[in-house]
Amino acid sequence: MSRIVSFDEFEKDIRRIISEADASSIPIRIMGGAAIRIHCPNNRDLYEHLKRDPKHDMDFVTYSKFRSQSKKLFVDLGYEPNISLMLTGSTGRFRQIFNDKEGNRAVDVFLDKLEMNHVIDFSERLEADTPTVPLAELLLQKLQIVEINEKDIQDAIILLVEHDVGNTDVQEVNGPFIAALLANQWGFHHTVDENFTKLREFIQKYPLKPQEKATVNDRISKLQTVIENQPKTLQWKLRARVGTSTKWYNTVEEVQRG
């Protein structure tokens, strides 16, 4: 039976893994809800206010050229590769899955990209931040979900309470990077825009301070302006004509990790 650990203990384990990877020159970064919590130390109280308790899932990403090194890293740390799941569908090409020997924890290591409802490519991006992926990708990981859950909305709100929108990846959400990405993908752009609306709706329902609500709304507006001002590609414009009459997102392949 698994022992319940605090998030502080969980974060120490994440940082230990990344430290071991750094020592072996393997660029591994954490993403997902745990990464947002790590990247928002000044607003930990919001997790209690919003009753948001991130699951202790470890979702890492590295480059595919480090596939063998990352496998060795986790084996050396006491994890066992889940070979059968790695060979399922596209999982083996872009994802490694490990389990601890007690069967209490599963670890995902994505390779190069995150393929969910929309694709987030991490090429040449992992060096921009540590121990997490850059804030732009952390936000996009939540906003790419077509049927977004409330927990993902909460994560996005907490991220935007703590971090402003700017032009770099240094403690701010890189607006130009997101705008350039979405300018070539109408479907991704549409999903993000729909989720901005949902974020604004939920902000009003939550016990946030008036200034926190205003901050998030302002930062959403700032990001929307950057996105809309970015010139769109011909591919984007042609796909926009089709609109939602044709499915604009990928169906997620469910993988049971445990």
- State the average pLDDT for the chain: 93
Q: What are the Cα distances from residue 137, in Å, to 21, 170, 194, 252?
A: 21, 13, 18, 18
Inform me whether the pLDDT recorded for 90 exceeds 70: no
Please give the average per-residue pLDDT across 225-244, as a whole number. 98
CB 135 within 8 A of CB 169: yes
Inform me whether the pLDDT recorded for 255 exceeds 80: no
In this structure, of 46-60, 133-147, 196-210, the range with the lowest mean pLDDT score is: 46-60
CA pair distance 62, 55, nearest whole angstrom: 21
**Predicted confidence (pLDDT) per residue in 15-24, tens digit:** 999 999 999 9
Rounded to the nearest 10°, the torsion over CA 17, 63, 164, 19 is 20
- Say how many CA atoms lie within 13 Å of 199 toward its Cβ: 31
What is the CATH number for 115?
3.30.460.40
- pLDDT-derived band of residue 167, with 50, 70 and 90 as boundaries? very high
Within 10 A of 162 (CB to CB), how many other CB atoms are there?
19
* Residue 3: per-residue pLDDT: 57
Cα angle at 112 between 182 and 28, to 5 degrees? 115
Inform me whether the pLDDT recorded for 89 exceeds 70: no
The answer to whether residue 258 sits within a structural domain is no
The answer to whether residue 211 sits within a structural domain is yes
Which among 108, 131, 121, 96 has a CA at the least distance from the CA of 11? 131
CA pair distance 142, 128, nearest whole angstrom: 19
The answer to whether residue 36 sits within a structural domain is yes
**Predicted confidence (pLDDT) per residue in 175-221, tens digit:** 999 999 999 999 999 999 999 999 999 999 999 999 999 999 999 99
* Residue 181: per-residue pLDDT: 98
The answer to whether residue 140 sits within a structural domain is yes
The answer to whether residue 253 sits within a structural domain is no
pTM over cut 0.85: yes
The answer to whether residue 257 sits within a structural domain is no
The answer to whether residue 252 sits within a structural domain is no
- DSSP element (H, E) containing 197: helix 186-205
| Single-letter code of the amino acid located at 162 | E
- The whole domain housing 112 covers 7-245
Total tally of structural domains belonging to the chain: 1
In this structure, of 39-53, 83-97, 151-165, 170-184, the range with the lowest mean pLDDT score is: 83-97
Which among 242, 256, 248, 253 has a CA at the least distance from the CA of 118? 248
* Residue 127: per-residue pLDDT: 97
The answer to whether residue 256 sits within a structural domain is no
Please give the average per-residue pLDDT across 161-181, as a whole number. 98
